[in-house]
Structure 1
Amino acid sequence: MEPSKTSNNNNKLPSNLPQLQNLIKRDPESYREEFERQRAVYEAMCVIFEQNPTRYNDDLHQIIMFMAQVAQCYPDKLKEYPQELMTLLKRHGSVLHPEMRMSFVKALVLLRNKNLISPTDLHKLFFQLLHFQDKNLRKFLKEHIITDIKNINAKCRDMKLNKELQNFMHEMLVSRHAVAAKTSLDVLIQLYHKRVWKDAKTVNIISNACFSKVTKIMATAIRFFIGKDDEEEDKGSDSDSEGEGTKVDLKAAVMANKVKKKTKKQKKQLEKIKSLAHKNQKKKTTKASFDFSALHLVHDPQTLAERLYRRLEKMNERFEVKLMTMNMISRLIGVHQLYLPNFYPMVQRFLFPHQQEVTRVMVFAAQAAHSQVPPDDLEPVLKTLADNFVTERYSNEVIAMGLNAIRELCLRNPYCMSEDLLQDLTQYKSHKDKGVMMAARSLIAVFRDKNPELLRKKDRGAPTELTVEKKQEKFGENTAKSYIPGAEILAFKTNEIEDFGSDSDSDSDDGWVDVSSGNYDVTFDAVAADDNDDDEDIKNRVKKKTGEEDDDEKIYSAKEAVKEVMKLTAEERASKAEDIVSSRFLTDEDFARIAAAQAFKQVEKFNQSKKNKRGKKRKQMEDEVTREAQELVPLKNIEMIYKKRKHDREARMETVMAGREGRTKFGATKGRLNPNASTTNREKAKSKNFMMMKHKNAGKQKMSFRDRQQRLKLALLRKKKFRV
């Protein structure tokens, strides 16, 4: 009985390719004869197929996929099989049925996954197939190319193969066929974002696409370098949902589920909607982070910026494309500190309140400013901002945005500001609008740090220890220090247990305050000068905690270390800091102490007489925090209009509940304060008969258009009659 069963199975194998495929993978040699038969069938079908390649042949599709699945089992027989498929695609690719063409491509992908085809040969063929008008095929090819290159570099990087593929992508990028060039650009960008080809060569290949004659390719390349604004991401997240093309209304779905019939399918669908809504909410709250390191990898940024500027001058594209180009030029100038004097007059032409997207143009003007730009080039831009925005002709929001733009520009290059103009702008510090007032005060805070000599004496503020240490640099001056400012705090050994806010005793709140600096993200437990401090008790407490009783090396508390630093002059601090830096390696804890000491100096008043007692610390307001110049100017820094902040939900609910105290549960209290008072006409109307009030209710009904027309006609005739 057993032989008959085997013979029956063998007879069914020619018509059951999946079963034969499974058996061949388990034992290739036992089924070599069956494979030879299928090989012969494949060759016969190919001859028939070439006579009429436009038809879809399902039998050929199945046998092609079968041969691709078992190709690794018979390498001697199927050595030329990949080349045969590629030849058929090259010969008849343009006239093939779309599904038949996709079958050939999927078979080649299977062979590539088995490493039976070189990636370069396959990618060259796939880029040729991009010329065909087949949207699904193009999408599939692009995804495979990205995945294939990613898998090649998953375990180890083959630099020779990567270089060969990058050169091929560059050839495709400069090719005349727009679809192939766009696909090559998309592949390069995707591989860069996936950190597969995140090198300078990839970036510079993409930079060549910024000069493509095809607008879509040029815009894609520029968008790669400038990234996307947070506002654009928010708009995109509102319109696109996770997995679906519409927004998920969870409240409506829950309400609909209450009135529908309760079934397992309905319950499962509701759970899916809840999960989708949770993902969308998480996606909205997660702030996107963008990597601008591509700008740093450009080989010749000066030439790139000049070529883009020449392209911008002759550009006839949409205004959005012009803005993108201006954005990239400004970022190149700011990041690499380039000199492109003709760019500033071009930006100046767009600085008007009625100009479309004027806030973004302000950002470009600020980004293109840096300390090496001559003041003569930036001074016209600064005056244009002051004349066109900071004027009483426009609204308070326009004035505030103008002051914010001036602040961001002067933060990067304060040398272009004149004394008279700055003193005029600082007059807005007492403006009645809070947005204008805060913008003017932030400008004052910038010049308190950069060049306080330009401010009026009353606006300079009290000098602090940090401002006295700093030396006001002139244009083109670059002072190199041989030490780290603030490192002198390390000369005083402190107790690790109570150092910088780690004191666990109850008396740590007495005389200790938190100082937050705009320059340092460190909280420093500073000490306010207090004559009643018991230094002896502090020393004893420190010794008790550390267990040290010897007096060979004095151990200070954080309080005492800061006091000792403040007693030193600027020259003594520099000397101690230089000794510390040159004699030891600094740890993360050391840098935290340095940052904390610098933060304390920023708010500690400077006292010329070191013999006198320390003065009280100057309270540092929010608008006085020193701002640091960033590489890129966020749009919110220009549009930062201070308004009354909205309370969060907890604060609003607390206010609502406080207002409900003493009231009844629902509605207003009925009844009168004076029960003997007379009733109103409205209250009397409620007790009257309906027929008595009918004529009044009729007059309140909505009249038709015809009735209004007739009434207007009668009124006009009446007026005419009385005039005569």
Structure 2
Amino acid sequence: MVRPNNQLPENLPQLQNLIKRDPESYSDEFHTQYAHFVSLLEIFALNPTEENKSLEEIVMFIAQVAQCYPHVCEQFPKKLTDLLRNSATVLDPAIRNCFVKALILLRNKNLVPALDILELFFQLLRCQDKNLRTFLQTHIVTDIKNMNAKHKDMKLNSASGTPSLQNFMYGMLKDANPKAAKMSADIMIELYKKNIWNDSKTVNVIASVGCFSSITKVLVTSLKFFLGHDDEDEAGSDSDSENEVDLKGALMANRVNKKTRKGQKQLQQIKKQAVKAQKKKKNAPAFNFSGIHLVHNPQGMAEGLFKQLQSTNERFEVKLMHLDVISRLIGIHDLFLFGYYPYITRFLQPHQRQVTRILQFAAQASHELVPGDIIEPILKTIANNFITERNSSDVMAIGLNATREICMRCPLAMGEDLLQDLAMYKTYKEKSVMMAARSLITLYREQLPALLHKKDRGRQTEAQAERKVRAYGERDVHDTVMGAEALLKDSKTIDLGSDDDDTDSNDGEWVNVTHSDDDGAGAAESGDEEDSEDEDDDDEEEDGDEDAASVSEAEEAEDDEKANEKKKEKADLKMLNQKEAAQELALTRIFTDADFKRINAANLKKTVTSARKRPLEQERSEFVKLNSIEMIYKKRKHDKESRLETVQAGRQDRERFGWKDGRVNENCSKTNREKSKTKNFGMMRHKARSKVKKSFRDKQLAMRKHLLQQKKMK
């Protein structure tokens, strides 16, 4: 191979390019440069605080071509790591950054083990260099993400009995250095969000170590992780709105604009992107449990956080984070922490800072397994401090909204007297209070209508009639698909009899069961038993009629009551048979999407009456939205006078409209154009005329006049 004429030892970029193309031909030159590096490094080690440009250049050169000579460069990473470990804090920042970048290049080429680099980089956090710490954190996250890109490397991540990345990161979370512990927490949280270390082990390490750390920054970061509203959530995740493809706009632009080859190529690319976006929308969404669902010992964590809260001297915002995490743990896992409710009651005052969030925490910590006697003091405190006429209407509405959210999760906490007192605000003069009180009444119409006054219960719906009032601790267990009775009419396997009230009719009986002979026989036997029972009932009625001919009118009335009771029993029996038939239908038939639509429509129809067209059901979510408590109904001011008052109030401290120039001094001279705006029209009339187009005759006369004047002047 022909060598270039220039001197290669002095031109490292060119030598680097040639070595990558043909390593064997330039082996001698590389050995020379490596020996030069060793000598420069020994000299630099004597005085590491000074800057050395030649050392920076040769270090980056060797890092770029180290994969070509692995045996020669075997000790190259060790020399750099030893120097960084021994004198990282006193090194010149430029040299230190150069060594770090060289090690990252070697790591990307798999010439250095990941764990060795990770340990070194965490030691470098003691350096007072914020840019370096940010750079190291980005590299660590990217490196672990690349290692798990194709498949999760469980051997490297969490190898049992051997040093692993996860074990090292968990150990660094307990490090005494605040910066190292904070970076470890940030890295684990970011890897969890990127679905790399999204296992329960990572979550429980953050829960057991991070949430009880003596370092405030680590504590706050860990609590924010369980609250799920980090600042990096929006920045780290690519929103769909940013990636949307405007195909319609591109087609319209292509139709209007000039047809070019470049434009057609761009249009084809946009079409491909639109097809990819459509495919992504059709894919099934991936659901991940939030970190708070993966905690192994939520009761112990809640008790530990509450104990830490009572003894902490942190600022008020950190205490609010404690209250929020504890309330979420109690609400999601149905925990018992009775000391939490008296503690939070102390902050329920209208003048308390962030009081709406504290009301939100009280609602989140409520669930059906908490005894009503525990939560009732909170409701009474809210009623005494918020829902009184000495407060403003907004405060009263917020108190009623908070009461509704608490009772939605624990209906048994409300007493009958208190509920009826709060229901009287349904006719309050302020619209916001009136609407909040009516929402509370609507809730108890569905949950416990017996607690309401008779006039507030409203017209009973079919769903309310079917609903059973549950006692404390009772669970509503369904053995079939609710509302499957709507499919019985079209079912081919199960058919109901006629709806006549005659004694000979088989009301609600199973007439035909075709899926199995044995089941059909069983159904026939059950039908015979019911027929025999009906015959016995008929005999009893006949005997009652014979006796009625010889008894008084009082006995006849008693017989009528018995007949009515029997009719009710038959109606209940018919409903029971319908439920049994629906259960059998659910066991013998696979429901389609159309079937579920009919079931949902039938269930929705049960929740409304002819007078009310909307259902009263209120969904209960895991977390209480702050907007549900702060939502205050305000009537919009439509009259002209009130709107004008608002407009005038907004103009008070605002500058006048008009063109604003960029003058520093407002009193300086102005241009002729600006002066013309304030002059009298008589002074500007001639200029206004000059703008009008002259006719050919006027131009002739003007030219003639001008030439005559020129002639006279001569």
TM-score (norm 1): 0.67
**Aligned residue runs from structure 1 range 356-371, under 5 A:** 356-371=353-368
Secondary structure of 2:607's counterpart equals helix
| Alpha-carbon displacement from aligned partner over 1:61-90 (angstroms, at most 9, x marks no partner) | 111111111111111211222122111211
Counterpart CA distance in 2 for 1:370 and 1:333 is 8
Q: Specify the alignment match of 1:24 in structure 2.
A: 19
Q: Specify the alignment match of 1:476 in structure 2.
A: 473
Q: Specify the alignment match of 2:216 in structure 1.
A: 215
Q: Specify the alignment match of 2:41 in structure 1.
A: 46
| Alpha-carbon displacement from aligned partner over 1:96-145 (angstroms, at most 9, x marks no partner) | 10110000000000011111111111100100111111111111111111
AA aligned to 1:636 is: N
Given that residues 350 and 361 in structure 1 are in contact (C-alpha distance below 8 angstroms), is that contact kept between their aligned partners in structure 2? yes
Secondary structure of 1:493's counterpart equals coil
Given that residues 227 and 290 in structure 1 are in contact (C-alpha distance below 8 angstroms), is that contact kept between their aligned partners in structure 2? no
Give the direction of change, closer, same or farther, for the CA distance of 1:467–1:573 in structure 2 (3 Å limit): farther
Given that residues 485 and 574 in structure 1 are in contact (C-alpha distance below 8 angstroms), is that contact kept between their aligned partners in structure 2? no
Counterpart CA distance in 1 for 2:589 and 2:78 is 66
**Aligned residue runs from structure 1 range 194-209, under 5 A:** 194-207=194-207, 208-209=209-210
Q: Specify the alignment match of 1:83 in structure 2.
A: 78
| Alpha-carbon displacement from aligned partner over 1:2-59 (angstroms, at most 9, x marks no partner) | x9xx4543x4221111111111111211211211111111111111111211111111
Of 411-420 and 637-646, more deviation after overlay is shown by 637-646
Counterpart CA distance in 1 for 2:40 and 2:591 is 76
Given that residues 222 and 328 in structure 1 are in contact (C-alpha distance below 8 angstroms), is that contact kept between their aligned partners in structure 2? yes
- Check if 1:191 corresponds to 2:191: yes
Given that residues 175 and 181 in structure 1 are in contact (C-alpha distance below 8 angstroms), is that contact kept between their aligned partners in structure 2? yes
After TM superposition, give the deviation of residue 349 of structure 1 in Å.
0.5
Given that residues 367 and 410 in structure 2 are in contact (C-alpha distance below 8 angstroms), is that contact kept between their aligned partners in structure 1? yes
Counterpart CA distance in 1 for 2:224 and 2:289 is 11
Q: Specify the alignment match of 1:147 in structure 2.
A: 142
Counterpart CA distance in 2 for 1:379 and 1:76 is 76
Q: Specify the alignment match of 2:673 in structure 1.
A: none
Counterpart CA distance in 2 for 1:91 and 1:199 is 36
Q: Specify the alignment match of 1:661 in structure 2.
A: none
Given that residues 448 and 460 in structure 1 are in contact (C-alpha distance below 8 angstroms), is that contact kept between their aligned partners in structure 2? yes
AA aligned to 1:216 is: K
Counterpart CA distance in 2 for 1:129 and 1:16 is 32
| Alpha-carbon displacement from aligned partner over 1:641-675 (angstroms, at most 9, x marks no partner) | 0113599xxxx9xxxxxxxxxxxxxxxxxxxxxxx
Counterpart CA distance in 2 for 1:128 and 1:588 is 59
**Structure 2: runs of 5 or more not aligned:** 159-163, 235-241, 243-285, 493-570, 644-714
AA aligned to 2:579 is: A
Secondary structure of 2:319's counterpart equals helix
Given that residues 224 and 230 in structure 2 are in contact (C-alpha distance below 8 angstroms), is that contact kept between their aligned partners in structure 1? no
Q: Specify the alignment match of 2:612 in structure 1.
A: 619
Q: Which has the larger radius of gyration?
A: 2
After TM superposition, give the deviation of residue 443 of structure 1 in Å.
0.5
Q: Specify the alignment match of 1:181 in structure 2.
A: 181
Q: Specify the alignment match of 1:315 in structure 2.
A: 312
Given that residues 93 and 101 in structure 1 are in contact (C-alpha distance below 8 angstroms), is that contact kept between their aligned partners in structure 2? yes
Q: Specify the alignment match of 1:595 in structure 2.
A: 600
Which residue of the other structure, out of 113, 121, 127, is the alignment partner of 1:118?
113
Q: Specify the alignment match of 2:454 in structure 1.
A: 457
Of 195-204 and 297-306, more deviation after overlay is shown by 195-204
AA aligned to 1:195 is: N
Q: Specify the alignment match of 1:691 in structure 2.
A: none
AA aligned to 2:42 is: V
Give the direction of change, closer, same or farther, for the CA distance of 1:349–1:229 in structure 2 (3 Å limit): farther
Give the direction of change, closer, same or farther, for the CA distance of 1:216–1:290 in structure 2 (3 Å limit): farther
After TM superposition, give the deviation of residue 229 of structure 1 in Å.
9.3
Count of residues in correspondence between the two structures: 505
Given that residues 390 and 398 in structure 1 are in contact (C-alpha distance below 8 angstroms), is that contact kept between their aligned partners in structure 2? yes
**Aligned residue runs from structure 1 range 184-263, under 5 A:** 184-207=184-207, 208-228=209-229
Counterpart CA distance in 2 for 1:296 and 1:328 is 12
Give the direction of change, closer, same or farther, for the CA distance of 1:8–1:158 in structure 2 (3 Å limit): closer
Give the direction of change, closer, same or farther, for the CA distance of 1:122–1:569 in structure 2 (3 Å limit): farther
Q: Specify the alignment match of 1:563 in structure 2.
A: none
After TM superposition, give the deviation of residue 618 of structure 1 in Å.
2.7
Secondary structure of 2:210's counterpart equals helix
Secondary structure of 2:477's counterpart equals coil
| Alpha-carbon displacement from aligned partner over 1:618-650 (angstroms, at most 9, x marks no partner) | 3235xx632111110010000010113599xxx
Given that residues 607 and 617 in structure 2 are in contact (C-alpha distance below 8 angstroms), is that contact kept between their aligned partners in structure 1? no
After TM superposition, give the deviation of residue 568 of structure 1 in Å.
10
Q: Specify the alignment match of 2:50 in structure 1.
A: 55
AA aligned to 2:174 is: V
**Structure 1: runs of 5 or more not aligned:** 235-241, 243-288, 496-565, 605-616, 653-724
Secondary structure of 1:130's counterpart equals helix
- Check if 1:631 corresponds to 2:622: yes
Counterpart CA distance in 2 for 1:98 and 1:376 is 64
Give the direction of change, closer, same or farther, for the CA distance of 1:297–1:135 in structure 2 (3 Å limit): same
Secondary structure of 1:70's counterpart equals helix
Q: Specify the alignment match of 2:333 in structure 1.
A: 336
**Aligned residue runs from structure 1 range 697-712, under 5 A:** none
- Check if 1:642 corresponds to 2:633: yes
Give the direction of change, closer, same or farther, for the CA distance of 1:303–1:120 in structure 2 (3 Å limit): same
After TM superposition, give the deviation of residue 292 of structure 1 in Å.
6.9
AA aligned to 1:446 is: L
AA aligned to 1:602 is: T
Which residue of the other structure, out of 407, 418, 422, is the alignment partner of 2:419?
422
| Alpha-carbon displacement from aligned partner over 1:162-195 (angstroms, at most 9, x marks no partner) | 1121111111001111110000001011111122
Which residue of the other structure, out of 408, 412, 425, is the alignment partner of 2:409?
412
Given that residues 225 and 292 in structure 1 are in contact (C-alpha distance below 8 angstroms), is that contact kept between their aligned partners in structure 2? no
Counterpart CA distance in 1 for 2:230 and 2:572 is 48
Counterpart CA distance in 2 for 1:383 and 1:364 is 16
Counterpart CA distance in 1 for 2:15 and 2:575 is 87
Counterpart CA distance in 2 for 1:91 and 1:193 is 35
| Identity across matched positions, percent | 53
Counterpart CA distance in 2 for 1:88 and 1:313 is 47
Give the direction of change, closer, same or farther, for the CA distance of 1:304–1:601 in structure 2 (3 Å limit): same
